[in-house]
Amino acid sequence: MPPAACLRCGNRAVIKRPKNHHKLCKECFLSVFEDEVHHTITSSKLFHPGERVAIGASGGKDSTVLASVMKTLNERHNYGLDLVLLSVDEGIKGYRDDSLETVKRNAVQYEMPLQIVGYDELYGWTMDQVVETIGKKGNCTYCGVFRRQALDRGAKMLSIRHVITGHNADDVAETVLMNLLRGDLPRLSRSTSIITGSSSSEVKRSKPLKYAYEKEIVLYAHHKKLDYFSTECIYSPEAFRGTARTLIKSLEKVRPSAILDIVRSGEDMARLTPDKGQDACGCDEDEAIGGCGSANGRTSGSELAQMEARLKVKQRSTELETEISANGTSADDGSVKLPIRGGRRQKEKPVGPLQTLGQCIKCGYMSSQEMCQACTLLESLNKNRPEVSI
Ligand SMILES: [Zn+2]
Ligand SMILES: [Zn+2]
């Protein structure tokens, strides 16, 4: 079989894009991937020149690719952004301490300052201690609530009001599907928006990789030879999310565009859903779980882990990669530019006067309840603390 030619430049193609099965050479793949993220950023007016932006960095592939692409685009297109890495140390031995080493190397490689905030110092609990107390079940809920607040607080320590995270199209599609299955349209609508500014936080969140396929993120990291940490969180994710993930991977096999189709459908449904105001409870725990540095909790036997392993083996890598990305039939939909749906108003700033937003009576964190979610969880935890010696 003669080698396939790159769709863009005619050179030898080594990659079949998981997203649309276009055959590309390495250079064209990297540049198309970057162009698409750039398009996402500009068409949704994500940043303004001079803005200080914190990249939520876990050391995993998503946030490492995000940091690398942001550095590239910031320089190439003169965004004028001041980029900082922000990491949360959940206190998970053998997982987070190792991945933080990766983030520290990334900080040097990308010449970005790094700030680390620990659950330990913020809450007086590490995740290892939480799991010791409540067991493995449901611990992701704690971790998600704690992480969200930790990122906010870390950003505030740095006087930064915008945090970007490595959520990809697969994560968004999972969340859409989960909320659809739960019949929770308001949350579905919030989860699809690229900026998830919350009324309970002064810090804006956004996800520039929202339209990037997870498999392409792995390919990008591989071909750019990025230094990332691929072991997953040792505490398993919520079962329901795992089921949604499996379902999406199956759909992707028969219809590669399924992931983007679900994201777009979510966006369309969001436009039809009455705006309930942004996230009054400030929880969005799905979101937080998606942001878990666990490579989003993939199980090690997953297709993705196999793909990463195969990429690592990498002798005769050119043939391999073309083969790796192949699944199902070729859907030649030709479109490379990503459609960003217009017409969605983004709230630049948290809604002020309409909503009565107080502060948590315990910690002072912005909250629509008397006590913020983290403090509520902490209170029940502290009741169960085995023995406190002060
Ligand atoms: Zn090419
Ligand atoms: Zn609180």
State the first-to-last Cα distance of the chain, in angstroms, to the nearest integer: 72
Integer Cα distance of 15 and 24 in angstroms: 5
Q: Is 91 known to sit in a ligand binding site?
A: no
- Looking at per-residue confidence, does 228 or 339 come out higher? 228
Average pLDDT, the chain: 81
248-293 pLDDT tens trace: 999 999 999 999 999 999 999 988 877 654 443 334 444 443 344 4
pLDDT at residue 352 in the model: 40
Q: Of the bound ligands, which one is closest to the alpha carbon of residue 14?
A: 1
Lowest mean per-residue pLDDT among 231-240, 253-262, 325-334 = 325-334
HEC secondary structure over the chain: CCCCECCCCCCECCEECCCCCCEECHHHHHHHHHHHHHHHHHHCCCCCCCCEEEEECCCCHHHHHHHHHHHHHHHHCCCCCEEEEEEEECCCCCCHHHHHHHHHHHHHHCCCCEEEEEHHHHHCCCHHHHHHHHCCCCHHHHHHHHHHHHHHHHHHHCCCCEEECCCCHHHHHHHHHHHHHHCCHHHHHHHHCCECCCCCCCCEEECCCCCCCHHHHHHHHHHCCCCCCCCCCCCCCCHHHHHHHHHHHHHHHHCCCHHHHHHHHHHHHHHHCCCCCCCCCCCCHHHHHHCCCCHHHCCCCCHHHHHHHHHHHCCCHHHHHHHHCCCCCCCCCCCCCCCCCCCCCCCCCCCCCCCCCEECCCCCCEECCCCCHHHHHHHHHHHHCCCCCC
Q: Report whether pLDDT(87) > 50.
A: yes
Q: Report whether pLDDT(5) > 50.
A: yes
341-390 pLDDT tens trace: 444 444 444 444 444 568 888 888 877 788 888 999 998 888 877 665 55
Q: Is 58 known to sit in a ligand binding site?
A: yes
pLDDT at residue 219 in the model: 97
Q: What distance in angstroms lies between residue 56's CA and the mean position of ligand 1's atoms?
A: 32
Q: What distance in angstroms lies between residue 375's CA and the mean position of ligand 2's atoms?
A: 4
199-230 pLDDT tens trace: 666 899 999 999 999 999 999 999 999 999 98
Q: Which of 99, 98, 100, 55 is nearest to 74 (CA)?
A: 55
pLDDT at residue 373 in the model: 87
Q: Is 37 known to sit in a ligand binding site?
A: no
Q: Report whether pLDDT(331) > 70.
A: no
Q: Is 286 known to sit in a ligand binding site?
A: no
Q: What distance in angstroms lies between residue 377's CA and the mean position of ligand 2's atoms?
A: 9
Q: Dihedral sign, CA of 313, 319, 321, 326?
A: negative
Q: What distance in angstroms lies between residue 33's CA and the mean position of ligand 1's atoms?
A: 12
Q: Which of 219, 232, 192, 293 is nearest to 69 (CA)?
A: 219
Q: Is 35 known to sit in a ligand binding site?
A: no
Query: What's the rounded mean pLDDT across residues 67-90?
Result: 97
Q: Which of 201, 303, 192, 325 is nearest to 249 (CA)?
A: 303
pLDDT at residue 386 in the model: 66
pLDDT at residue 248 in the model: 94
pLDDT at residue 166 in the model: 96
Q: What distance in angstroms lies between residue 10's CA and the mean position of ligand 1's atoms?
A: 6
pLDDT at residue 27 in the model: 97
Q: What angle do CA 41, 354, 208 make, to 5 degrees?
A: 10
6-36 pLDDT tens trace: 999 999 999 999 999 999 999 999 999 999 9
Given a contact cutoff of 8 angstroms between Cβ atoms, the answer to whether 84 and 53 are in contact is: yes
pLDDT at residue 143 in the model: 82
Q: Which two tokens stand for residue 340?
A: 């960003």
Q: Dihedral sign, CA of 58, 59, 61, 65?
A: positive
Q: Which two tokens stand for residue 160?
A: 């930064």
Q: What distance in angstroms lies between residue 309's CA and the mean position of ligand 1's atoms?
A: 25
140-168 pLDDT tens trace: 778 888 888 899 999 999 999 999 999 99
Q: Is 171 known to sit in a ligand binding site?
A: yes
Q: What distance in angstroms lies between residue 138's CA and the mean position of ligand 2's atoms?
A: 20
Lowest mean per-residue pLDDT among 65-79, 145-159, 184-198 = 184-198
- Looking at per-residue confidence, does 195 or 295 come out higher? 195
Q: Is 97 known to sit in a ligand binding site?
A: no
Q: What distance in angstroms lies between residue 357's CA and the mean position of ligand 2's atoms?
A: 13
pLDDT at residue 279 in the model: 43
124-135 pLDDT tens trace: 999 899 888 888
41-54 pLDDT tens trace: 999 999 999 999 99
pLDDT at residue 234 in the model: 74
Integer Cα distance of 74 and 81 in angstroms: 6
Give me the architecture of the 46-272 domain, per CATH: 3-Layer(aba) Sandwich (3.40)
Q: What distance in angstroms lies between residue 7's CA and the mean position of ligand 2's atoms?
A: 54
pTM: 0.80
Q: Which two tokens stand for residue 384?
A: 């169960």
Residue 101's pLDDT band (cuts 50, 70, 90): very high
